Structure 1
Amino acid sequence: MEKRIRILNVLLVFGIILVLLVFIPLPYYVTKPGLAEPLRPYVKVEGANKDKGEFMMTTVSMSKANIYSYIGTLVNSDHHLYKTDEIMVKGESNEDYQFRQLRYMEESKQAAIINAYKQAGKHYQVTKNGIIIVSIIKGMPAFDALKLGDVITKINKREVDSAKEFTTILSSAKAGTRFNLQINRNGKTKNVSIKTKPFQNEPNRAGLGVSIVENIKLSTNPKVKINSEEIGGPSAGLMFALEIYDQLEKESLAKGHEIAGTGTIDNKGMVGPIGGISQKIVAASKSGAEIFFAPYENGKKDSNYNEAVKSARAHHLKIKVIPINSYHQAIAYLEKLK
């Protein structure tokens, strides 16, 4: 009887340890190859015809690390480990992080629409209305004065709707410079007075401690709707732009091919780098993609393109990696496809 009790106690302790290994979080995040999904179900252009072939966006799966997933990164080269401060802004909660990523996705979709409609010669109109705060650094002046989602409409009584303009005004100010901001919070106008402060990791540079995106509204003809659900981040911008253009044009742009890729896109069509490309190309290949667009970064040695090529070789993937600097380069490549 005593022997049975000892065995049960040992099993109970062992079970508790296993539970703790699963549920005790570590100060890390683990990423691994996510999905490569066709974009047509997400993008609907009014009156679009169904074409052969597909454009696909790629994702990376990310989760809080525990002991098991931490060990997994040591034995699986497709699983990567990141410190929390490499993912999150100081003082940022999981909800704050998700808000920021969804706003980046929204900005990315707007840039994709602008580029596609411009390329197709279709009508679109942009209405600007200030800039939106998407993250705030703990310990900086904005942390106690501003909130995520606040829309800054004026700075020192001067209307502002350009992120570049706002950043330029702040970057030229010394520490301790006071700025009067007019903001819109939940539909109500509010005035906030705030001083700049040196950044902890950059003592020679002062600011408020916010990240921003432009608050714009788009109207198009024909109408377009992008339902990205809860997918966050700006990395699908290039592929959204290609899918929208494909639906706007009568001729098929994919021409029967399975085409995946990644990269941010701005309103001028420039394609920028993203994180996790070595994992995204694995996801694309598993989903049957033949071609993969990767940001070339004007030939940088450690560009996304070079990282994607290295990953494709290491995994013996039968996928063609194409270097892309701009949206127009991607269109030109596709127009020459057989």
Structure 2
Amino acid sequence: MKLNKRLWGYIAIFFITFFAINIPIPYYIEKPGSAIPLEPMVQVQDGFHDKKGSLSLTTVRMGPTNIGGYLYALVSPYADVVNVGMIHSPHETDEQYSQRQLEIMKFSQDTAKIVAFQRAGYDVKIKNSGAIVMQLLPGFAAENVLQIGDVIIGVNEAKVDTATGLIEALKGKENGDLVKITYLRDGKEQTVNLELKPLPVATEDGKKKAGIGIASPITSRTFTLPKEVTIKSEEIGGPSAGLMFTLEMINQLSPDDITKGYPIAGTGTIQEDGSVGPIGGIEHKVVAAEREGMKYFFAPSLTTEPGEKSNYDEAVERAKDLDLKMQIVPVETVDDALRFLGKLKPL
């Protein structure tokens, strides 16, 4: 009898463990990732290398979890669980989300190139060249034809130069209308006729606009740089390394070491005007930077809503909670970061 009870206990433990490991739940787990030096990743033609200090982007380890991971995150100070709906739209698959993140990363790198060369005193000529497809809504005409990364350059006979231009070109169209979409895929121009349907979200007056099923497009740009730049970011996605890419390119364009010999990390999006925007997961990124021995960490201090905490506020709170020794530096623009670096005493 005792043997049977023990056997059934083992069986119960086995099945509990099996279900905890193998049954997916609608949550992602987030943990500190890495602080990755940018100098080996970014190469500016005839750039200055062999600098004593370093500039690093920071990452968050994130992925689907199970019951076991969920329970672990509840007790660990270094992990969080996030509902999958907070990570990506319910209208896109994990594969589509990953592809969208890579496209956003490319856009962020292009913006970083523009800002870096401008701050280094070069003239950069920029030309808007279309609207990049970033997200496709299920059940709409675009889903079966277009792909993430396609560049829309025309609607009917109207030329489309920007994401806003695409929205304007579709404005006033009604349910059932056909529109001719001209787009580029891998540099090849193609056209397709798409039928409009009511979009899922109503406007303030309760009416639903008609659309082809494209969400969150971004502007495609062509620009000319005086030097060639190659960036090998592998499978890292998203816009959050924009500031650090910008600083790394500025450092390679300068004979001086802007880091003054220190290991420096940070995060934040970059806009063409040089402003640094907020990102997600900064509470994990500061931990990753501390573990890699960073001396300073740049954190965005701009907010999107009045009264909300900034990334800088969140980073400082996490640093106090975990007794991190690294200095958190608030930045609103790339110029704030450059001014801070300019005041550092060389090692």
TM-score w.r.t. the length of structure 1 is: 0.89
- 8 Å contact kept, 2:38–2:248: yes
Structure 1 spans left out of the alignment, 5+ residues = none
- Change in 2 beyond 3 A, CA 1:10/1:301: closer
* Counterparts of residues 198-277 of structure 1 (less than 5 Å): 198-200=199-201, 204=207, 206=209, 207=211, 208-277=213-282
Q: 2:323 aligns with which of 316, 325, 336?
A: 316
- Change in 2 beyond 3 A, CA 1:201/1:56: farther
Question: Which residue type is aligned with residue 152 of structure 2?
Answer: I
Q: Distance in 2 between matches of 1:183 and 1:297?
A: 35
- Change in 2 beyond 3 A, CA 1:270/1:192: farther
Q: Distance in 1 between matches of 2:195 and 2:272?
A: 31
Percent same amino acid at aligned positions?
36
Q: Distance in 2 between matches of 1:129 and 1:13?
A: 61
Is 1:160 the counterpart of 2:174? The answer is no
Q: Distance in 2 between matches of 1:311 and 1:320?
A: 12
- 8 Å contact kept, 1:180–1:194: no
Moved more, 8-17 or 112-121: 8-17
Q: Distance in 2 between matches of 1:218 and 1:209?
A: 25
Q: Distance in 2 between matches of 1:104 and 1:226?
A: 14
Q: Which residue of 2 aligns with 1:116?
A: 116
Structure 2 spans left out of the alignment, 5+ residues = none
Q: CA deviation at 1:137?
A: 2.5
Question: Which residue type is aligned with residue 321 of structure 1?
Answer: I
* Counterparts of residues 37-76 of structure 1 (less than 5 Å): 37-47=36-46, 48-76=48-76
Partner SS state of residue 297, structure 1: coil
Q: Which residue of 1 aligns with 2:300?
A: 295
Q: Distance in 2 between matches of 1:177 and 1:307?
A: 47
- 8 Å contact kept, 2:120–2:254: yes
Partner SS state of residue 78, structure 2: coil
Q: Distance in 1 between matches of 2:161 and 2:12?
A: 60
Question: Which residue type is aligned with residue 261 of structure 1?
Answer: G
Q: CA deviation at 1:295?
A: 1.0
Output one character per residue of 1:121-151: Cα deviation in whole Å (capped at 9) or x when no partner. 2354445432221211334554345332322
* Counterparts of residues 136-147 of structure 1 (less than 5 Å): 136-140=136-140, 142-144=142-144, 146-147=146-147
- 8 Å contact kept, 2:53–2:259: yes
Q: CA deviation at 1:85?
A: 1.3
- Change in 2 beyond 3 A, CA 1:221/1:104: same
- Change in 2 beyond 3 A, CA 1:81/1:145: same
Q: Distance in 2 between matches of 1:73 and 1:110?
A: 36
Q: Distance in 2 between matches of 1:270 and 1:124?
A: 18
Question: Which residue type is aligned with residue 137 of structure 1?
Answer: L
- 8 Å contact kept, 1:89–1:135: no
- Change in 2 beyond 3 A, CA 1:11/1:116: same
TM-score w.r.t. the length of structure 2 is: 0.87
Aligned residues: 336
Question: Which residue type is aligned with residue 193 of structure 2?
Answer: V
Q: Which residue of 1 aligns with 2:194?
A: 193
